[in-house]
Amino acid sequence: MLRLLADGLSNKQVSRRLLISEHGVKRLVGNVLAKLNCPNRTLAVVRAMDDGLLAV
């Protein structure tokens, strides 16, 4: 999920890639934001990179 967020994909694009509903994507993104304690996708990606969870 973090890689797809880092690639800048929309919820619709992620849902197509993962073969899940857009609602499911919104829930997953919300979980990622909560776990990383970030208010938005951009900061979540930056934090994941800083924490070594996501390589460039």
Say if 8 falls within a structural domain: yes
Nearest Cα to 41, choosing from 17, 19, 14?
Answer: 14
Is 13 within a domain?
Answer: yes
Residue 46: inside a domain, yes or no? yes
| pLDDT on residue 36 | 96
Locate 38 and state its tokens.
Answer: 């970030």
Q: Is residue 55 part of a domain?
A: no
Please check whether residue 56 lies inside any domain of the structure: no
Domain containing residue 32: CATH number? 1.10.10.10
Confidence at residue 56, expressed as pLDDT on a 0 to 100 scale: 77
Q: How many folded domains does the chain comprise?
A: 1
- Which residue's structure tokens are 């909560």? 34
Runs of H (alpha helix) within 1-56: 2-6, 11-18, 22-36, 41-50
Domain coverage including residue 15: 2-50
The candidate with the shortest Cα–Cα distance to 48, out of 38, 7, 17, 8, is 38
**pLDDT tens readout for residues 1-49:** 899 999 999 999 999 999 999 999 999 999 999 999 999 999 999 999 9
